[in-house]
Structure formats: structure tokens, C-alpha cells
Chain A
Amino acid sequence: MKDQEDKDLKGKPRGLLSSWRFIGLLLVAIIVYAYGWRVTEINLGDLITGAPDIVHIVTQIIQPDLLARDKAYQTGYADFHMPCAAAPLAQPAASETEPYLVLSHTCGEPGEPLSVEGFNFRPNTRGTLRWTPPVGTKRSLQHFDSDGDGHFVLAISIPEVAESEDLHLIEAELRWEVGLPYPSETSRVVFDKMVETVLMALMATTFAIFIAVPLSFLGARNLMSAYRGTMIIYFVVRGVFNVVRSIEPLIWAIIFAVWVSIGPFAGVLALGMHSVAALGKLYSEQVESIDPGPIEAIRATGANALQTIIYAVVPQIVPPYLAFTIYRWDINVRMSTVIGMVGGGGVGFLLIQWVNLLRYKQAGVAVWAITVVVWVMDYVSGVVREKIV
């Protein structure tokens, strides 16, 4: 205590930990974080218990349905009676070259075991055994692989299907890929939508430039501070910029999807709306930060107003304007990939559909396309901006 008093007398600040204010703040912080932990339902255990689910999705996404090859098929059939009829069915005829199936018995009841043997099939190939009842839908029973001689034996149990006088059909189908790989249907659809996405961003950015450039002068304090009337315009313009900018493009997309119906145009409007405000703010800040020195110097040479603008103002404004615009386009490409999720067109539309249908291999193609395009845009815009500014 003596030391503490000495320190106070010397006018030195108290130690941080010993000050009441610090302890108070610490308590408040602890309460806020504890409450936050509960409200946001943080449960680190979920990360581990849920891991198997995500592994399935991730493995499919990292094997996207990028390329396809033509498929070839080979099929063998056998008939089956259920229940057994008076005359037993003949087994399929054996052949030297053609694939055929042999059943352990040709009639039976549901649940009874049945052995299916295949001969002369394509060696080392994956296939599926299917059961087609005379009434109702075809069902897959089992996947299998043929051995080196194109032979396989499958032990199944007769499925629970409606009994009928008519014949049931047992079908073994082998599938394999032939020929050179080519872009899959998914890839082609994604490519089309990716082009749409980039162009959406381009259109939105372009529209935004035409509106934001004139507005940026109205939103620049140094230009508008001369009179009360212009000051009011300044505050209105800046206010609109701030409000519009604080609404995310996703929200705008929902609004415009209702307005002009779902599609890329809604996306263009949504991105454009946000970009006008974002660019307008950046542009007008750039106008505000103009160096008055060159303007003074150019006026001093006897230049007229037009020459002063062209030689002293424009060179100060145009490069940063270009840089901001390219950056905005870059952001818009990124945004337009998700804007499709709420009906704004572009690749996001495909992505959300495939995710909802649990078709993760197709979703994987979209994810990879987005990654590549965003990365390229980011890189290119970075290089270009560096050159300009």
C-alpha cells in the first residue's frame, strides 16, 4: 500500500490491473462473451460429430463432374416365375460368345435365396443387377464386378414384389466408358452460366459508372460547400449513397427478382444498385482528396477553365476512378456468383439447385469454376490497378 501511495504522489498512472475501471471493463467483457457464446450456440463438439457428413460432400466436390466419356452397355436377361407355375421356365440358352445368365431356380417366393450366375460378360467390369416385376417399378438389387473371364456369381434374396402370373425379368447390366473424355453436360452448362455471371458483373459495373460519375461530383464536399443549397444536395447524395450501400446486393436481388422477375437482369440491377452507391462514395472521396496545388499552377500559366480541368483535375481523378472501377467489377463478379441463389441469374442459380438436389459432383464443378474465375479476376484487377495508380 505504501508503494501505491508513493506512486500516486509522484503522479504516475496506477498499474492497469489495479484500476477499478479496468476490472469493471473486464467483468463487462466476460459477461458479454459468455452470453455471446450461449446465444450463438457455439458447440465445438459438433465440428467433430458432424465431420462424416461433410467428408462425403467434400469428397464429391473435389471430384467434380468435369469430363465425361461415352458409355457402353452389355446386358443379360433371365425370366422368373412368382409364384411357381405348373410348367417350369427354361433357363436362357448357353452360348459360346454371347453373355447369358443362369439362375439356380426359375421360380420362387419372395425372401427365398436365389443365385444368379453370369457367363461371357466383359471381364473386370462393374455392373448392376436389376429386377423388373410385371407390375410396378424396376429396382436395383446389387452392384458387382465381373472376374477376369467375364464370369460372376451373385447370391440374392428374391425381392418383396407383387406376385403375378406374368414373368418377372432379371437383368444384369455392365457399363464401362469408351473413347476420349469430353466436357460433361455439367461443364458446358456451368461455362454458359459463368459467362453470364461475368457479363452480369460487367453490365452492372458499366451502368454504375454512368450514374456514379456525375453523382460523385455532387457528393464531393470540396465542390459543394460553397452555398447552402449545394450543401443540401451534398448531404442528400451522401445519405443516399450510405443507405443504398448498406443494403447488400443479395437483398437488392430479392427486391429486383420480384420487380423484373427472376433472371440475370434482376442480378444486373441488384449489383448495379449497390455499385452506384459504393463507387459514388469512393469517387467523391477521390474528388475531395484532389491536390489544389496543380490547379493553382495550371491557372497561373494562363490556362482557361477547360484546360485547367483537363490538365490539373482529370489526371488526378481518372487513374483512381479506373482502379476503383476495376476493383468493383472484381467484387461484382464475386457477388454475382452468389446472387443467383436468390434468383438473380448466373452460376449461383445452378449451384444452389444442385446443392438442394444433393448433386455435389455437379455443384463441385460450379464451385471450382467460381474459384478459378474469381481468382483470375482478382489477380488481373490487382495487376491492372497497380499499373494505373
Chain B
Amino acid sequence: MCLCPIYYPSPVDAWSRNLALVLAVRREKLMLEIQNLTKVYEGGTLALNDVSFTVDDGEFLVVIGLSGSGKSTLLRCINRLIEPTEGKIIWDGVDITQLHGEELRKVRRRIGMIFQHFNLVKRSSVMTNVLSGRLGYVNPWRSAVGRFPKKDVEKGRSCLERVGILNQAYKRADELSGGQQQRVGIARALMQDPELILADEPVASLDPATSHSILRYIEQLNREEEVTVLCSLHFLSLARAYATRMIALKDGEIVFQGLPTEIDDDRFKEIYGEEAIQVEIR
């Protein structure tokens, strides 16, 4: 899988990118701070139990853990797709858990999200799916009748070009392969101009080769545009390859925080249970 070079359609875009980089260097630290986050589901399931950690700007933080360990719940609490029961989520100096309505939507649009099952609208075109990433920015009444500003359509094309599927733009989303669909998912998140990306097991439904290509796109965003990434993964080998830092969840609690290299066999057994065997994904 090639790592396609970043594409900029015009010198103006390149200029604005440089400006964005300058601004990015200058801007205040956003810092994501999770404080004592707890989530109890209606049935009484304790999904997250007093979870606290900090994510520095520009990190590629991988969350590992078994299925049901609370990874998805954690990520969804951060953009409030799931309401946390207790705790604070402070980002850019604001407690996200206290936001409502317009304020919450303004925060959400700065946080891109990538899903395990891509969560594309299957019957809509690839382009429509990508453009829906701009919904938080555009005039809601114009978007209600399916009209997007010309510059957003241009942006959509360049995002698709960037993930290498511009030629599929007007196909129906479900005509694409799994890897291509996830790239549409990435393009949709890119449309939001995200400062933080939440990736919920982005490669769990993909084959190993495609998994790497998808993760490389996310890594590229992380390195070149300094987008902070919070990514949950199943496989430790993938986590080791991409993470700048890792946390491990077990039964809703953090059992490990640190560098990928620090996870040895003992730690592994602690996270995944005594009977687990390491599977390599290359």
C-alpha cells in the first residue's frame, strides 16, 4: 500500500497550510485531561471505573484491552456520544461534560471520530458521506436541502485525494471495500479540521495489510498535522508499531500507562489474562 503524498490543489491551500502550521506552533496547549471518569450503564454494568489520565498535544495514545474492557465507552464519553456518569473531561480548558446544545456541538466538530464499522451511510455516495463531516460548520438549513458551500466540496475532493480514493467519490459507499470505506471514514473526520481524533478500533474489521495502511494514514495526520490521536486497538503488535504512549484498560480500570516498549510478558498477561497468547500482526 503506497503512502500517498499529501495533495494540495492550489498554492493558496499550501499557503494556508503553512499558516496553519505556524498557528499550530503558536497556539496554546489544548491538553486533554480525563479526571475520575466513571460510567455505569442502565443495567448496572460498570464500564469505566474512576479512570484518570492526561493526553498531551500531538500524542498517538493507544488504548488496549479486551473486548468489554471499556475502550469504546471511554472514547465515546470524550465527545459525549455516551453520557458519563461521573468525572470531568477537560479539553482546551473547558469541561466537556458540562456542555450543552450549541456549545457541545462546537466542541464535537473539532473532534474527528473513526469507527470500527466505518459507520458510513451505505446508500449515500462517498462524497455525501465525506461532506457530512462539515455539518457542524455549515448553515443547517442549507445543508438540510443537501447544499454545501463550493469550498467544502473542494475540500471534500482534496480529502478524498489524500486518502487515495478520489476516483470513487460518486460511488455508493457500500460499493467500496472495507479498507476503502475506512478511508472514507478518515476523510470524513479530516473534513472537520480536527484537533483531536478518536479512533475506535479503526482496523478491527480489516485484514492485516489494510490495517497497516489505515493506521499509517492516521499516523501521518498525527505526525504532519500534529493532530492528537486517541486510538483503541485489539492487537498489541499494532499498538507497539504506532503508539507514542499506551494505556491499558481491564474491566473499566486503567491497569497500565506508559511506553509501548514497557509491556513485557507479565504485563501482557495482566492486561489480557493468563490464558492469552500474543498474536503478531505484521
Residues of A within 8 A of B (CB): 291, 293-294, 296-304, 306-307, 310-312, 315-316, 319
Contact = CB atoms under 8 A, between A and B. Distances in A.
B136 interface: yes
Contacts of B202: none
Contacts of B118: 293
A303 B79 CA distance: 13
Given A304-B140, A306-B140, A298 B135 contact: yes
A301 B81 contact: no
Contacts of A311: 121, 124, 128, 132, 135, 143
Contacts of A302: 105-110, 135-137, 192
B120 A300 contact: no
A306 to B, nearest CB: 6
B121 A301 contact: no
Nearest to A320: B123
A301 B132 contact: yes
7 contacts: A297-B113, A297-B115, A299-B108, A303-B136, A307-B143, A310-B144, A312-B121
Contacts of B120: 294, 297
Given A294-B120, A311-B121, A315-B128, 12 more contacts: A294-B122, A296-B81, A298-B121, A298-B135, A300-B81, A301-B113, A301-B133, A306-B144, A311-B128, A311-B132, A315-B121, A315-B123
A304 B139 CA distance: 11
Nearest to A311: B132
Contacts of B123: 315-316, 319
A303 B105 CA distance: 7
Nearest to A292: B119
Nearest to B136: A302
Interface of B: 79, 81, 105-111, 113, 115, 117-124, 128, 132-137, 140, 143-144, 185, 188, 191-192, 198
Contacts of B121: 294, 298, 311-312, 315-316
A315 B124 CA distance: 7
B192 A301 contact: yes
Q: Which of A296, A306, A316 has the most CB of B within 10 A?
A: A296
A294 B174 CA distance: 13
Contacts of A303: 105, 132, 135-136
Q: Which of A302, A304, A310, A316 has the most CB of B within 10 A?
A: A302
Given A299-B81, A311-B135, A304 B119 contact: no
A276 B123 CA distance: 26
B119 A307 contact: no
B111 A300 contact: yes
A297 B188 contact: yes
A306 B117 CA distance: 24
A294 B109 contact: no
B117 A293 contact: yes
A300 B144 contact: no
Nearest to A299: B81
A316 B128 CA distance: 13
B71 to A, nearest CB: 15
A300 B140 contact: no
Contacts of A299: 81, 108
Nearest to B192: A301
Nearest to B198: A300
Contacts of B140: 304, 306-307
A300 B132 contact: no
B192 A293 contact: no
B135 A301 contact: yes
Nearest to A312: B121
Contacts of B113: 297, 300-301
A296 B109 contact: no
Contact of A300 (B106, B108, B124, B128): B108
A291 B122 contact: yes
A311 B188 CA distance: 13
Q: Which of B106, B109, B121 has the most CB of A within 10 A?
A: B121
Contacts of A306: 140, 144
Nearest to B82: A296
A316 B129 CA distance: 13
Contacts of A297: 113, 115, 119-120, 132, 185, 188
Contacts of B79: 300
Q: Which of B105, B135, B140, B185 has the most CB of A within 10 A?
A: B135
Nearest to A318: B123
A210 to B, nearest CB: 22
Nearest to B131: A311
Nearest to B144: A310
Contacts of B128: 311, 315
Contacts of B106: 302
A301 B120 CA distance: 12
A301 B119 contact: no
B135 A307 contact: yes
Given A293-B119, A294-B120, A315-B123, A301 B144 contact: no
A307 B109 CA distance: 13
A312 B132 CA distance: 9
A168 to B, nearest CB: 82
A312 B106 CA distance: 19
A299 B123 CA distance: 18
A86 B45 CA distance: 122
